[in-house]
Amino acid sequence: MLNFEFKNPTKIIFGKGQIGNLGKEIPKNAKVLMVYGAGSIKSNGIYEQVKKALSDFEVLEFSGIPANPEYEVLMDALKVIKEENITYLLAVGGGSVIDGVKFLSSAALYTGNTPWDILKNSIRTENGLPFGTVLTLPATGSEMNSGAVITRKETGEKLGMGGPGLFPQFSILDPQVVTSIPERQLANGIMDAFSHVLEQYMTYPIGAILQDRIAESIMQTLIEIAPRIMKNTSDYEAAANFMWSCTMALNGLIQKGVPTDWAVHAMGHELTALFGIDHARTLAIIAPSHYYYNFEAKKEKLAQYGERVWDIKTGSTEEKAKAAIEKTVDFFHSLGIDTKLSDYTAAYEGTAERVSQRFTDRGWLGLGEHKTLAPADVEKIIKMSY
């Protein structure tokens, strides 16, 4: 196992009816900006619950954060924060709203001229304006981590940011919010969380037995609850396990002491930036090719995953590893998720070269757990995903 430090300060408040406890978590004299998306919270009752819980506070609202939170929209929100002297941010939404609020938290205290530089120049956020979240969509794990991904349409970019100042102070996880989530977003949530585990697991053996077992158990849980929650969003037990699995998949725990990959996400973000494909679906496009392309380097963990998660008991390491990739693709298809770029766009020709060039331009010369995947490899992997 590798050396590590672990600190996660986010308080999780989990369960039925917990949105009602929101007011206890926010400082008494806070001036709150409640930030949300296109308005799903107004039709599923979450908006009323939040407003009721905040009745003792001075609250302003900012709505309209789009999926893949857009820089220009966030800059409008930043103006409100500054003009109104907001002291506390509350995200009510999925990963996009939460990530948007993380950007705002950082940008509100940023002293440079152009907040985009936080993303462009990978400036770590040590301190941000305090914020909490009410999660409405299990998927990203953003509710319990310190990362965010922001999109800028003007330049076709989608870049990450983070730092210890960007953990939410608290996150309220009421699994009942799952009842109103459309099938497409449910599938996305399962897919995204599953991929987060794979990124932190599908590398090479390092003797981190407990991390491996935790990672495998999250994947097993997602596989078990996927058909249940897709069939019936009112299945509270399935919803609760779905929600907690998504949080556990990316709250930092399973990545401690192990090598991590994240190349699938790096390539996937480019497909969202270029084509607007849902984040989770870009991962389903890239992952199979990535595992076939890096088969030699990853085959031992692939085989272990095949044995333990998919119950593949016979065959050589190579055969088990290959069968494991096939099972994974079948699982993505079972969620109704297509796994080829050409399933999403007719204009896929040239994508591999474009993405590879972008990586070169950004100086990203070594992706993956060994930092050996060059832009030329990225080009080949993406071509395999057509």
CB of 44 to ligand NZQ, least distance (A): 5
Does 96 sit near ligand NZQ (CB under 6 A)? yes
CB of 269 to ligand NZQ, least distance (A): 6
Stretch that binds Zn ion, among 3-11, 184-192, 231-239, 251-259 (CB under 5 A): 184-192
Q: Which residue in 70, 99, 192, 216 binds Zn ion (CB under 5 A)?
A: 192
Does 265 sit near ligand NZQ (CB under 6 A)? yes
**Residue 219 touches which of ligand NZQ, Zn ion, none (Cβ within 5-8 Å per kind):** none
Task: 114-122: list long-range contacts, CB under 8 Å, 24+ apart.
Answer: 115/75, 115/78, 116/71, 116/152, 118/161, 119/150, 119/152, 119/157, 119/159, 119/160, 119/161, 120/159, 122/161
Does 200 sit near ligand NZQ (CB under 6 A)? no
Q: Which residue in 10, 142, 294, 385 binds ligand NZQ (CB under 6 A)?
A: 142
With residue 194 as reference, give the H or E element that holds it.
helix 183-201
Whether the CB-CB separation of 321 and 288 falls below 8 Å is answered with no
Output the six-digit token pair for 29: 């004299």
**Residue 250 touches which of Zn ion, ligand NZQ, none (Cβ within 5-8 Å per kind):** ligand NZQ
Whether the CB-CB separation of 15 and 42 falls below 8 Å is answered with no
Output the six-digit token pair for 15: 């369960």
| Alpha carbon distance 89, 35 (integer Å) | 7
**Residue 137 touches which of Zn ion, ligand NZQ, none (Cβ within 5-8 Å per kind):** ligand NZQ
Does 34 sit near ligand NZQ (CB under 6 A)? no
Residues 38-57 that bind ligand NZQ (CB under 6 A): 38-40, 44
Does 221 sit near ligand NZQ (CB under 6 A)? no
Does 101 sit near ligand NZQ (CB under 6 A)? no
Whether the CB-CB separation of 282 and 229 falls below 8 Å is answered with no
Q: Which is nearer to ligand NZQ, 250 or 303 (CB)?
A: 250
Q: How many angstroms separate the Cα of 50 from the Cα of each of 92, 134, 171?
A: 8, 8, 13
> What's the number of CA atoms in the CB half-sphere (13 Å) around residue 238?
18
Residues 354-383 that bind ligand NZQ (CB under 6 A): none
Stretch that binds Zn ion, among 189-197, 219-227, 237-245, 305-313 (CB under 5 A): 189-197
The 3-state secondary structure of 147-184, one letter per residue: EEEEEEHHHCEEEEEECHHHCCCEEEECHHHHHHCCHH
Residue with tokens 């996880």: 173
**Residue 261 touches which of Zn ion, ligand NZQ, none (Cβ within 5-8 Å per kind):** none
CA-nearest of 73, 90, 80 to 136 is 90
CB of 142 to ligand NZQ, least distance (A): 3
| Alpha carbon distance 232, 134 (integer Å) | 22
Return the SS3 of 46: helix
Closest residue to Zn ion, judged by C-beta, is 192
Would you say the C-alpha torsion 134, 136, 142, 145 has a positive or negative sign?
positive
Q: Which 8-state DSSP code applies to residue 373?
A: B
Does 185 sit near ligand NZQ (CB under 6 A)? yes
Stretch that binds ligand NZQ, among 135-143, 213-221, 313-321, 371-379 (CB under 6 A): 135-143
Q: Which is nearer to ligand NZQ, 233 or 356 (CB)?
A: 233
Provide the CA 201 distance to its chain's centre, in angstroms. Answer: 16
| Alpha carbon distance 386, 382 (integer Å) | 7
Q: Which residue in 78, 241, 248, 279 binds ligand NZQ (CB under 6 A)?
A: 279
Does 216 sit near Zn ion (CB under 5 A)? no
**Residue 95 touches which of Zn ion, ligand NZQ, none (Cβ within 5-8 Å per kind):** ligand NZQ
Q: Which is nearer to Zn ion, 157 or 192 (CB)?
A: 192
CB of 55 to Zn ion, least distance (A): 35
Stretch that binds ligand NZQ, among 75-83, 89-97, 252-260, 358-366 (CB under 6 A): 89-97
Residues that bind ligand NZQ (CB under 6 A): 37-40, 44, 67-68, 93-97, 99, 136-137, 139-142, 145, 147-149, 177, 180-181, 185, 188, 192, 250, 265, 279
Site residues (CB under 5 A) for Zn ion? 192
